[in-house]
């Protein structure tokens, strides 16, 4: 190797190190990044750069609760506006049996709002308005498809907001168009049905089964993935937290318990806009209870299953 080649290699290494040391990650993701740094891991194994076009803010309104009881339509319209303006994004690299996959998390990345009141009558008939572009969520999603190999969106929300049908429609069209333009083929848009996090009503076992199936779905599609619910707090928080605990956390039980408390729990709080015991934002202890008690061995068993034979026909 000539002196010039050695110098160029040295310069490349310096620039590479500079890039990672100065790259900003998502706000809530800093919690796990700081943990892995202290553990002595190489940054290339966990570092994820936040695209400038993507938003990682989260906002919990303490005044909307009253409006929900008096004017639900206006309440839901304002929630749609809040989601369009604050994407609540984060990400992590997860160690699946098939390899490392980066999974991003967010609120709906539909990036549009209703021009006026939510047209519930039209939505019921399956007629969806085009809406007005708001914020940069649409551009963010396009960027992730083009630059972060996002090949699948897993939409976890199947709650009571009727606007979910329109937001899914806006987001799905943008995603499928973007993946076709970039990859020449459509990506996977997976809508999860009936996934609720009410621990008292559903019981832990039902939630465990749903979470295992969802993570298996995330693992099944090549490329990276984006998961979200409505605001990126509760359903997303459970699934993402379980993946952190079971796929990235220490194997030692006591160390894993500490990891869940110091990393997973703090990330969950961050994504729910938890400020203090008096201002808890969207924090639900029942979500953390599911994560803390989740049986990782069952998830590992599911993910380690070999695919069915190509000669086998399942009916």
Full 3-state SS string of the chain:
CCHHHHHHHHHHHHHHHHHHHHCCCCCCCHHHHHHHHHCCCCHHHCCCCCCCCCCCCCCCCCCHHHHHHHCHHHHHHHHHHHHHHCCCCEEEEEEECCEEEEEEEECCCCCEECCCCCCHHHHHCCCCCCCEECCCHHHHHHHHHHHCCEEEEEECCCCCCCCHHHHHHHHHHHHHHHHHHHHCCCCEEEECCCCCCCHHHHCHHHHHHHHHHHHHHHHHCCCEEEEECCCCCHHHHHHHHHHHHHHHCCCCHHHHHHHHHHHHHHHHHHHCCCCCCCCCCCCCHHHHHHHHHCCHHHHHHHHCCCCCCCCCCCC
Confidence of residue 92 (pLDDT cuts 50, 70, 90): very high
Would you tell me how many other CB atoms lie within 10 Å of the CB of residue 221? 16
Sequence-distant (6+) residues with CB within 8 A of 262 are: 35
| Average pLDDT rounded to a whole number, residues 271-279 | 97
Q: How far apart are CA 259 and CA 38, in angstroms?
A: 13
Confidence of residue 182 (pLDDT cuts 50, 70, 90): confident
Q: How far apart are CA 145 and CA 122, in angstroms?
A: 31
| Average pLDDT rounded to a whole number, residues 172-201 | 92
| Single pTM value for the model | 0.90
Checking if the pLDDT of 277 tops 50, the result is: yes
Angle between helices 204-220 and 234-243 (to 10 degrees): 70
Checking if the pLDDT of 265 tops 60, the result is: yes
Q: Cα torsion for 107, 156, 130, 54, to the nearest 10°?
A: 30
State pLDDT tens for residues 25-48: 999 999 999 999 999 999 999 999
Would you tell me how many other CB atoms lie within 10 Å of the CB of residue 119? 18
> Which of 56-65, 86-95, 115-124, 299-308 shows the lowest per-residue confidence on average (mean pLDDT)?
299-308
Q: How far apart are CA 312 and CA 309, in angstroms?
A: 5
Enter the tokens of residue 284: 């639900």
Q: What is the mean pLDDT of the chain?
A: 91
- The residue extents of the domains of the chain are 33-303
Checking if the pLDDT of 308 tops 70, the result is: no
One CATH from 3.30.70, 3.90.190, 1.20.1250, 3.30.1490 for 33-303: 3.90.190
Half-sphere exposure of 260 (CA within 13 A, CB side): 24
């Amino acid at each position: 190797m000539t002196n010039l080649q050695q110098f160029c290699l040295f310069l490349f290494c310096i620039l590479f190190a500079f890039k990672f040391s100065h790259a900003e990650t998502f706000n809530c993701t800093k919690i796990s990044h700081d943990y892995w740094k202290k553990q002595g891991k190489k940054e290339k194994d966990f570092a994820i750069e936040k695209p400038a076009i993507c938003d990682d803010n989260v906002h919990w309104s303490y005044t909307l609760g009253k409006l929900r009881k008096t004017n639900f339509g206006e309440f839901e319209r304002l929630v749609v506006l809040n989601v369009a303006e604050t994407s609540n994004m984060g990400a992590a690299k997860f160690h699946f049996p098939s390899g490392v996959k980066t999974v991003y998390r967010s609120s709906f990345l539909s990036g549009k709002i209703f021009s006026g009141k939510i047209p519930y009558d039209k939505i019921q008939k399956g007629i969806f308005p085009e809406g007005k572009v708001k914020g940069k969520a649409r551009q963010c999603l396009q960027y992730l498809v083009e630059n972060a190999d996002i090949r699948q969106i897993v939409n976890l929300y199947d709650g009571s907001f009727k606007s979910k049908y329109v937001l899914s429609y806006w987001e799905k069209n943008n995603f499928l168009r973007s993946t076709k333009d970039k990859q020449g083929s459509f990506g996977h848009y997976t809508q999860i049905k009936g996934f609720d996090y009410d621990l008292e009503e559903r019981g832990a076992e039902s939630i465990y089964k749903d979470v295992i199936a969802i993570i298996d779905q995330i693992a099944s599609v090549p490329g990276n993935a984006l998961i979200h619910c409505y605001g990126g707090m509760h359903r997303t928080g459970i699934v993402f937290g379980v993946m952190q605990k079971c796929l990235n956390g220490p194997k030692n039980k006591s160390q894993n318990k500490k990891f869940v408390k110091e990393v997973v729990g703090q990330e969950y709080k961050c994504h729910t806009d938890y400020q203090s015991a008096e201002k808890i934002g969207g924090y639900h202890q029942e979500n953390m209870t599911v994560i803390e008690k989740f049986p990782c061995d069952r998830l590992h068993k599911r993910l380690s299953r070999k695919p069915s034979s190509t000669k086998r026909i399942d009916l």
